[in-house]
Amino acid sequence: MKICSSCNARFESSGWTCPKCEYTPPEINGFPALAAESADSSEGFHPEYFEQLSSLETGNFWFQSRNTLILYLLEKHIPNLGSFLEIGCGTGFVLAGIAAAFPSSALTGAEIYGAGLQYASRRVPGAKFMQMDALNSVCQKTSTSQ
């Protein structure tokens, strides 16, 4: 289910155009941008770090151990994982691990920085991705549209 960030209508669709008001969110690098105004913000993280992070994750004990722990918990508690949304998917390292362990799951990655989505979509080509600010997307869109 999707909620239109312009009129708050709830709808089911593979696309992002609202069937009620026909609002379509802008895109950043080909991904729907639900909080475009925050896509280039740099509070605590600089989007240019994604390239370095992407190359460091593979082979790094911390990132590999974190994936091992996440996959252990998912397999233990949600062995039939149908769908999964990772908020703050970064370069998609965690989502790639989940895709390998749960190949039939519908995966979605969300990231506030549009730059990260390019790396994540290359790592997990079967997942859907969107740019969003999990804390402010709906409130900001609603307040600016009225």
Residues of this chain that interact with Zn ion (CB under 5 A) are 4, 6-7, 9, 18, 20-21, 23
In this structure, which amino acid lies at residue 106? A
Q: How far is the CB of 1 from Zn ion (least distance, A)?
A: 13
- In the complex, the smallest distance separating the C-beta of residue 15 from Zn ion, rounded to whole angstroms, is 13
Cα distance between residue 89 and residue 111, in whole Å: 6
In contact, 65 and 54? CB cutoff 8 Å:
no
51 and 122 in contact (C-beta within 8 Å)?
A: no
Residue 35: CB minimum distance to Zn ion, A? 16
Cβ proximity to Zn ion, 21 vs 73, nearer residue: 21
Considering the complex, state which of residue 8 and residue 64 has its C-beta at the smaller distance from Zn ion.
Answer: 8
Cα-Cα end-to-end distance for the chain: 23
Least distance (Å) between residue 11 CB and Zn ion = 8
Q: Which residues, in sequence order, are CB contacts of 141 under 8 Å at separation 6+?
A: 5, 6, 34, 35
Q: How far apart are CA 63 and CA 85, in angstroms?
A: 19
Nearest CB to Zn ion, comparing residues 3 and 71: 3
Least distance between Zn ion and beta carbon 7 (Å): 3
- For residues 18 and 35, which CB has a smaller minimum distance to Zn ion in the complex? 18
The backbone region for 44, taken as left when phi is positive above 0, alpha when psi lies in -120 to 50, beta otherwise, is left
- Judged by beta carbon, residue 17 or residue 52, the one nearer Zn ion is 17
